[in-house]
Amino acid sequence: MSMTAKAMARTTVFGVCAALIWVAFLWGAAASASAAPLAVKEIAPGVFVHQGRYETFTPRNAGDTSNAGFIIGRDGVAVIDTGGSPRVGARLLEAIRARTQLPIKYVINTHMHPDHVFGNVAFLGEHPVFVGHYKLPRALAARAEHYLTVNKGLLGDAAFKGTRIIPPTLLVKDKMDLDLGDRTLVLEARKTAHTDNDLTVFDKKTRTLFLGDILFSKHIPALDGSIRGWLALLDQLKSRTDVARVVPGHGPPSMAWPEALEPERRYLAKVADDVRKLIKQGRTMSEATKVAGLSEKDAWVLFKEYHARNVSAAFAELEWE
């Protein structure tokens, strides 16, 4: 091939890439022009949940990749997680305002991950109290710069626009009741499991338990805390008999209790077992990421994106046993 032909071929490839980027840009612009309320389902009286997509952040999904919910009481509303961008947060606010004009008293974050907290900024104008695990501010502070830089790239400028980290000011050290008038929410700060700042929310009135990312369904679990802590917490939780239904951080809006926990428990136990065996055999972390837990491959969406990472984290933790 002559140099000219090569150069032309290259130019054509650039042209195609540029065209694709342009189409993606138009798509993003079109998406941000609408402030359509998020689709939510009323899973129990006064309890609403939006189901996020089983995807990682892209400009196209604009950060709509996790579950977000709200509970309407006599005196006000509590929001539980706000989605992965100011856009998703604004659309969640629209969904709330389509149902009630009561003040938003609380915005509760179940943990630090961007897909659950980046929408907080959309609620600033409502002047709620932001609530989280007592370790959440520190966890966000340590990661803020990284979260903002990396996710700006993943979400694209249109969806990322306006993103700020809004840390909680009301901190839960152990257990705390929030009063919405005719209903009480019981917040519990958990020991390190999915992350070191997991918080659960229980609506006593409907016996609905919001687990945040302590529970994944279909979407592969993502380990960013302690695999031993997570398995121990699942064991502790499953004996609860006061729960009617559960809301996962990723998965269907409402799931049956306690069987909803089982696939995740199986996955984590398999990873832990395999990793322990490999450590005993003197294998390395890199080797473990290629072989541990592969029997779970077909049971989960986004396996390729998270599994090796889960194995690395489990390895670093379990080699201290």
- What string of DSSP letters covers 254-271? SEETTGGGHHHHHHHHHH
Residues making up the chain, counted from first to last: 321
Minimal distance in Å, beta carbon 111 to another protein? 10
Helix (H, G, I), strand (E, B) or coil at 193: coil
CB 111 within 8 A of CB 195: yes
Does residue 231 touch another protein according to CB under 8 A? Answer: no
* Closest CA relative to residue 28, chosen from 163, 160, 162: 160
Minimal distance in Å, beta carbon 42 to another protein? 30
CB 111 within 8 A of CB 136: yes
**Comparison of 224 and 264: residue with beta carbon closer to another protein:** 224
**Comparison of 140 and 246: residue with beta carbon closer to another protein:** 140
Listed ranges 35-43, 239-247, 259-267, 305-313: which one lies at the site for another protein (CB under 8 A): 305-313
**Comparison of 29 and 142: residue with beta carbon closer to another protein:** 142
Does residue 58 touch another protein according to CB under 8 A? Answer: no
68-72 sheet: strands from edge to edge: 41-44, 47-50, 68-72, 77-80, 104-108, 129-133, 170-172
* Closest CA relative to residue 194, chosen from 306, 63, 101: 306
Minimal distance in Å, beta carbon 205 to another protein? 33
The residues that touch another protein, with contacts defined as CB under 8 A, are: 11-12, 14-15, 17-19, 22, 56-57, 113-115, 135, 137-138, 140-143, 145-147, 149-151, 154, 167, 192, 195-196, 222, 224-226, 282, 284-286, 289, 305-306, 308-309, 311-313, 316-317, 319-320
